[in-house]
Chains A and B, each alone.
Chain A
Amino acid sequence: MLPEEATKEEEALLRKQYGFDKPLIVQYGMFFSKVLKGSFGDSFETEEPALGLVLSHMPATIQLAGTAFIVSILIGLPLGCFAALKEHSMLDRVCMIGAVLGQALPGFWLGLILILVFAVNLRLLPSFGYGNWSHLIMPGIAASVFHTARLARLMRSEMLEVLRANYITTARSKGLMERVVLFRHAMKNSAIPIVTVLGLDLALTLGGTVIIETVFAWPGVGRLTVEAINTRDFPVVQAAVFVLASTFVLINMIVDIIYTFLDPRIKFE
């Protein structure tokens, strides 16, 4: 942080400024009391408050993670449902092979391949950056592929299990329309494990976007964190880890609350 020709006095001043002259435990206490006041110190690079810097990058990350999340629901759930309804059919096979492959694909590599195909060769989409909706397509797909695949497989197995249940046979034998049986009886009952995984997924996409953001030069918290690690900008790293982990915990808490609405049998003491 200091130029090489800095004097001993300047060094001592800097040490004092950052509290490096105090014992480690005192430094930790000082750090903690600052964190409780919502301050992580200033970024070494830009000298802005670290927390503000991280929070200003949060919308981009939420946009990307949100897109990935919605894409995985819109594609994964219907695919899993259809595959279950037409068990052992061609469609089922194709979906499940696709899903198994999708779970093995590293998202960031898919992102690179998308860039190679759609930006470098076909020149259809912008290869990186942040702006209108066309910038969101490739990162959105890359960030969602694992979750889409997992959701499709989980939805399929849940639906298969539910469709074998007695209450479905009862509903069908009452002569209810297949549509009613599916939407009112089957889907509702397969919702609980799905919501668990969805909650985990939403939280995980937040973490998973770290690498995708770097691939597409997306101005989110993930890329900020990686850059901060490379420049040893510790206040920013600490603030970013704090913000992302808090979001993670918050989402998990919301999922727990949603449970109690979905399944009245679950209660918290």
Chain B
Amino acid sequence: MKNSRDEANEFIISKKQWEDELPPETTWSSRLLTSLWKQKPALFGVFILFSVLLLAIFAPIISPFDPDEQLFKRAMKPPMTFFDGKILLMGSDHLGRDLFSRIIYGSQVSIIVGFFSVFFSGGIGLMVGLISGYFGGKVDYFLMRLADFVLSFPFILMALAFISILGSSLFLIIFAISTRLWVIYARVVRGCVLSLRETEFVISAKAVGGSPLRIILKHLMPNVIPPVIIIASLYLGRMIIIEAGLSFLGLGVPPPTPTWGGLLAEGRSYIYVSWWIVTFPGLAITITVLGTNLVGDWLRDVLDPRLRTG
């Protein structure tokens, strides 16, 4: 016959066993890392994104030539030509500038515009969404009508309208893109907050007298971060394409700063003479955007499979 102490021991053992059988406590970051290892496309995307980031940061060290150095003797050389003992990996343009170095430096503008516009508008969209969803009523009505108004402009058109009035610089392009992008965050965040507002933890936080600021920052915000991250990663690539498009039209960051879109515009003028100027910058855009899209798809699948925007 077992005495009570044995029974207690048994309970302790079984509790221990039970705990062993439980999957180890998972945090966000560990879950992300394990799934990243399983998802090869995502791993590839992260690899691309990191490579481009490194290129942008260490451009002065990596690029073999000065991107702005003009040399008549070096003009219009096809890829893989040797010049002065160094190889022109992607050829040179009509002013003798090394295309490879210019593409490396061009990544800086793309990365800066992409990341800053996504973060800047993410911050604004997050705030607007939280306020609109939490307070509701007139505030919500006003903010959402403003969002509808902004939504009635296609992206490029909004950017063109801004640039035609204000001119173009790095900051203004980020600003022009952000004025359209924040709406996408704001709407999704508002939707999340509307359903979160009815959950028990928010109601009880209100019941114990939490101030709106505290509830928004401590209780609501952590729960809407995943969709914000997903939108940011999904739109990063598109913003890079839009920046390239604006630069291509000559409405982006003004020359001589090398930008991928600007290089393509240059390549368009010389399309009958050289195939390389029009090819490689576009390839750089495509690969970078592919990387961001792969990462975005993966984050969406891991963090919130319901958010499928296509």
Contacts and interface: CB of A to CB of B under 8 A. Distances in A.
Interface of A: 100-101, 103-106, 108-109, 112-113, 115-116, 120, 150-151, 153-154, 157, 193, 197, 203-204, 206-208, 210-211, 214-215, 225-226, 228-230, 232, 234, 237, 241, 244-245, 248-249, 252
B266 to A, nearest CB: 11
A206 B271 contact: no
> Chain B CB within 10 Å — which of A109, A120, A210, A229 has the most?
A109
Interface string B220-258: 000000000000000001000100110011110000000
B282 interface: yes
Contacts of A203: 154
27 contacts: A101-B290, A103-B289, A104-B289, A104-B293, A105-B289, A108-B245, A109-B282, A113-B278, A113-B279, A113-B282, A120-B271, A154-B310, A193-B310, A197-B310, A207-B154, A208-B156, A210-B156, A210-B249, A226-B249, A228-B164, A229-B164, A230-B250, A234-B164, A245-B154, A248-B153, A248-B157, A252-B152
B268 A226 contact: no
A104 B209 CA distance: 49
B2 interface: no
B157 A105 contact: no
Given A103-B293, A113-B278, A207-B154, A229 B160 contact: yes
B72 interface: no
Nearest to A249: B152
What class of interface size applies to chain B in its complex with A? 35 or more
B143 interface: no
Contact of B156 (A105, A207, A232, A252): A207
B154 A206 contact: yes
A264 B270 CA distance: 56
A109 B278 CA distance: 8
Interface in B142-172: 152-157, 160-161, 163-164
Nearest to B281: A109
A245 B157 contact: yes
B153 A100 contact: no
Interface string B49-60: 000000000000
A210 B310 contact: no
Q: Top 9 closest A-B pairs, CB basis?
A: A207-B154, A109-B282, A104-B290, A154-B310, A104-B289, A229-B164, A211-B245, A106-B241, A249-B152
B99 interface: no
